[in-house]
Structure formats: C-alpha cells, structure tokens
Amino acid sequence: MELSSIEERIRSRRKYSVKWTEHPQEILPAWIADMDFGIPPLVKEGIAEAIELSEIGYAPYKLTLDYLEAFSAWQLEQHHVSMDSSDMIPLTDVIQGFYLAIDTLCAKDAGVLFLTPSYPPFFTSVNATKRRLVTSELVLSDRRYQIDFDDFANKAKQAGNGGAILLCNPHNPTGRVFDREELSLIAQIALSNKLWIISDEIHADLCYEGSVHTPIMAIAPEVASRCVTLSSASKSFNLAGLHTAVLHAGSPEILARLNSIPAGLRGSPGSLGLLAGKIAFGASAAWLKETVLKLDSNRKLLFASLEPYKNQVKSVIPEATYLAWLDFSQSQLKPTAQHYLLEKGHIALNPGETFFEGGTDFARLNFATEAELIPEMIKRITSCLPA
Ligand SMILES: Cc1ncc(COP(=O)(O)O)c(C=O)c1O
C-alpha cells in the first residue's frame, strides 16, 4: 500500500479525532495521546448493540458497579493490587481527578509537588486550584531519567504539611516506569512530610518487556491510606472520547472527603463510557497484548532510526507509554522545536515548553500509529536537522 493511501485511510477513519483534524492535510500528526489502532472488537460490538437498540438513556447503577468491578478485577489480575470497588468514585476524566483530589484534600496554603518535565495538566490543575506549584526536575543519567531524591525531599518540605505529591507513573512524557525502590522512597518522603499522594496511573498497562508497573498504593498499607489512584481505560483501550475514568480512595477518610463533594458538581460518566470500560477491562486483555506488541515494534523502529542522528536529537527509549520525549537542543530549531518541525518538517508534535518552563528545545512524539508511518515521521524530523 502506498504511504499516502495509508495516511488517507487513517485520515478518513479518524474524522472525529482532534489529532487528525487540527492541522492541514500536509501535516503528519504525531501529537495528542490517542492511538490510530481503533478499539477492541468486543467494545465496538457492545457499543454497536446499544446504538442498534437506540439505547443511550441514563445508565443503570448496576452498569456503574460493573465498570468499577471490572476495573478492580483488572487491577488485581494485571498489577496485583487490591482496589475495592466500594472505595472508588467514577469520574469523567483522570484530569478531573487531579482537580477534585487537590481541591478537596490539600491545605489551602500547601504546595503540590511533581516531577518535570510533566504532563501539562499537572501545571494547570495546581494553578487553577490555587495551590503552590513545587517541581523537581528529572535528571538524565546513564541514558535514563532519574529522580534527584535530595532535591525531591527538599521540595517535599517546601510543599509543607497537608500538601501533595502528584505522581505520574508510568511517567508522561519520559516513559519512565518507577520501580519499587523509587516508589518506596517517594512514599517515605510523602509520609514524613504529611503529604497526600495523588497517583496518575493511566499508562500502567502500556509497559514494555522488562518494566513492571507497581501501583504506589501497593507499597504498604500506610502509604495506601495517604493515596488517591487515578486511572481509566482511555489510554490502554483507546477510549478517550468516552470520558470515563475512575478514582480509588486509599482510606475511608479520603473517600468521605471526596464524597462530600455533591455528585451534581462532580458529574458522572455516561452509559456508553461505562459499558465500553466494563468490556475493555473485563474482556479485552488479548487486544491490549497485541496492541502493546505493535507499539513495541514501532518504539524499536523509531529509536533505531533516530540512533544515527543522536548528536542532533537526543532521546531515551521509553519503558512504557507510546510517547517519545525528544531533545533538539543541539539542533537549534527556532523559535521552538515544535514550531520548526511543524512549519518546515510538516509534522505535528507536542511543544516541549508545555511540559516544563524553558522547554522550547523539546517536543513529544506519539508513535501509536501504523508502522508504515514511522519512516515518514523520521524523514520529516531529520529533514529539519542540521547536517
Ligand atoms: C498522564 C496522563 N494523565 C491523564 C491523561 C488524560 O486522561 P483523561 O482523558 O481521562 O483526563 C493523559 C492523556 O494523555 C495522560 O497522559
């Protein structure tokens, strides 16, 4: 199949996605985090049946419960952690969970600490809830992004009692999967500074061979009791547009505080999202396994193809996620790497400056697309690099 026809096929199928409709046709989109692989067949069948029945009424309580129980069983099976459905609150979005958890749990004068570079809504949710922004930079060492624990511990003190650590594990945009030792240190720091832990684990199911996701609440019961875990089926099963997510409260106190927000203010997911999430977590493991293999093959191809250009674009192969964090600082792409790549290379990446202040030399690439498009991405990127 001709390259253009692959693109055309994706473009015609993805006509309701922002990824493929935001830019003119000559731009190859590799930005916002959803996949070009469709959805699990059983999810498609389930939604199709509801549509066939013209059934989009208010969701029965049982469907919400089924969704939460499917997530609970999934967590136990896949990540060996026990999350009881009665400790969960269904949400529309993981991002909504940041706002709810920060606003409900964190002291007004406290800080919220997170690692940078960071998924941009971490900044906006802390700013919008009017808590102090406290950040600690990941350090690149031995071709791996590492937490600088001295700095992290100091920053935790600055956040102050009653503040929070907003964790992204696996980490967007670097793709790091934090191991038990790292998570234990983060947890110790949280406990000794009386910080809540708000853990965004939305990328947990997208770990590659050799990396194992550990939910931070599984570190110890006293850690769980300070912990809010957020997740959804939207990354693993490509269902972001259905706006259905889940919050797990690690203690009765957290649950009671979050439940004190009126349900009408919190909002709730719709029936199709609950149905899709239930089928995804409950019956789509094989689809996910296949999808992770495809992503892994794209990841290897992308990074092998970038290797000859390592002096112009620095990158570290992600341990999870379908995102590549690229450093163009040696290539002087101005005014920003993302802008230059868009204008000159006709490829749309996410701008580095939204992930950390001063990040204009960086950009984030989404490689969850048909394998045939990876060489085209490389061609467009390398056409922008100095000789
Ligand atoms: C780390 C992380 N958290 C949350 C989200 C978004 O989740 P939701 O659409 O459920 O708000 C994304 C999407 O890219 C993400 O990468």
pLDDT in tens, 75-111: 999 999 999 999 999 999 999 999 999 999 999 999 9
pLDDT the model gives residue 102: 98
Structural fold of domain 3-39+286-382: Aspartate Aminotransferase, domain 1 (3.90.1150)
Burial class (CB in 10 A: 0-12, 13-18, 19+), 152: buried
Q: What is the Å distance from ligand 1's center to 48 Cα?
A: 25
Cβ 228 under 6 angstroms from ligand 1: no
Question: Does pLDDT of 4 surpass 80?
Answer: no
Cβ 43 under 6 angstroms from ligand 1: no
pLDDT the model gives residue 377: 98
Tokens 């990540």 label which residue?
79
Residue 234 alpha carbon, nearest atom of ligand 1: 10
Cβ 232 under 6 angstroms from ligand 1: yes
pLDDT the model gives residue 3: 60
Alpha helices (H) in the chain, listed in sequence order: 3-13, 18-21, 41-52, 61-79, 94-105, 121-128, 149-159, 180-192, 221-224, 252-259, 263-266, 271-283, 285-306, 337-345, 373-382
Cβ 189 under 6 angstroms from ligand 1: no
Q: What is the Å distance from ligand 1's center to 163 Cα?
A: 22
Residue 240 alpha carbon, nearest atom of ligand 1: 9
pLDDT the model gives residue 358: 95
Q: What is the Å distance from ligand 1's center to 245 Cα?
A: 10
Of 71, 234, 239, 350, which is best to mutate to test ligand 1, by the most ligand atoms within 8 angstroms of its C-beta?
234
Q: What is the Å distance from ligand 1's center to 278 Cα?
A: 19
Distance CA 217, CA 112 (A): 18
CB 174 within 8 A of CB 150: no
Cite the residue boundaries of each domain of the chain with CATH code 3.90.1150.10.
3-39+286-382
Instruction: Decide: helix, strand or coil at residue 235.
Output: coil
pLDDT the model gives residue 387: 81
Of 71, 95, 268, which is best to mutate to test ligand 1, by the most ligand atoms within 8 angstroms of its C-beta?
95
Q: What is the Å distance from ligand 1's center to 316 Cα?
A: 21
pLDDT per residue as tens digits for the range 237-285: 999 999 999 999 999 999 999 999 999 999 999 999 999 999 999 999 9
Of 34, 115, 200, which is best to mutate to test ligand 1, by the most ligand atoms within 8 angstroms of its C-beta?
200
> Which of the four pLDDT bands, split at 50, 70 and 90, describes residue 2?
low
> Which of the four pLDDT bands, split at 50, 70 and 90, describes residue 221?
very high
Query: How many C-beta atoms surround the C-beta of residue 256 within 10 A?
Result: 10
Of 119, 274, 364, which is best to mutate to test ligand 1, by the most ligand atoms within 8 angstroms of its C-beta?
119
Distance CA 146, CA 275 (A): 39
Candidates 223, 218, 245; CA nearest to 234 is 245
Cβ 201 under 6 angstroms from ligand 1: no
Which listed CATH number (3.40.50.1370, 3.90.850.10, 3.40.50.150, 3.40.640.10) goes with 47-283?
A: 3.40.640.10
Cite the residue boundaries of each domain of the chain with CATH code 3.40.640.10.
47-283
Round the average pLDDT of the chain to a whole number and report it.
Answer: 97
Q: What is the Å distance from ligand 1's center to 199 Cα?
A: 12
Residue 91 alpha carbon, nearest atom of ligand 1: 10
| pLDDT above 90 coverage of the chain, percent | 98
Whether the pTM exceeds 0.95: the reply is yes
Cβ 100 under 6 angstroms from ligand 1: no
pLDDT per residue as tens digits for the range 315-332: 999 999 999 999 999 999
Secondary structure letter of residue 143 according to DSSP = T
Of 202, 321, 322, which is best to mutate to test ligand 1, by the most ligand atoms within 8 angstroms of its C-beta?
202
Question: Does pLDDT of 378 surpass 70?
Answer: yes
